[in-house]
Amino acid sequence: MSNVDTENPKKGNRWMRVLLVVSLGVNLLVAGMVAGAYFGGGSEKRSGANGLRNSWVGPYGRALSKEDRAEMRKSFEGRKPWFDERRGRMRGFGNEMANAVRAEPFDPAVVNDILQRQRSLQSAIQAEGQSMLVDRLTAMTAEQRAAFAENLEKGLRRGKRRQ
């Protein structure tokens, strides 16, 4: 037996819409956090005109030396058009989603498609950031990598104590 109110079919649809809107909100929150981490924002330790934060790759970015963070910023600047294009596409997903949620009849398959494309784009952005980090680590000496590892462990221990 279905949980949908058969005497008032719109009531079941209303709950589905509420759930989808809440899911959309959570996804947009996560997307905003990822995009904010990559593209800057907030008032935390900004570096340079682009607003790239020192913590743009979380604990890994904080474990880098000042010089390595400067090198990462240079690398980011060299890839800025790539990131800017994807940031524009991320904004476009919001507009697509708004239109899909307003559409009558509502089609959850369209919403799922938008979320899948958004997830794929987020993965591409994350992979690019990871590639930049690996490039930076590869350019380091063994001693610099050991210092990075020590800084990373210290930062992770600090973060664990805060929880």
Amino acid at 115: L
Phi, psi of 53 (to 5 degrees): -85, 150
> Do the beta carbons of residue 37 and residue 90 sit within 8 Å?
no
Which residue type does 5 have? D
Burial of 120 (0-12, 13-18, 19+ CB in 10 A): exposed
> pTM to 2 decimals?
0.58
Q: For residue 73, is it left (φ>0), alpha (ψ between -120 and 50) or beta?
A: alpha
Q: How many helices (H) and strands (E) does the chain have?
A: 5, 2
pLDDT value for 102 = 94
Distance of CA 19 to the CA centre of its chain: 22
Average pLDDT of span 43-72: 65
| Listed ranges 4-13, 33-42, 48-57, 123-132; the one with the highest mean pLDDT | 123-132
**Phi-psi region for residue 86, left (φ > 0), alpha (ψ -120 to 50) or beta?**
alpha
Taking all residues of the chain, what is their mean pLDDT, rounded to a whole number?
76
Which DSSP letter does residue 144 get? H
Query: Each residue of 92-146: pLDDT tens digit?
Result: 898 899 999 999 999 999 999 999 999 999 999 888 888 999 999 999 999 999 9
Rounded Cα distance between 107 and 114, Å, is 11
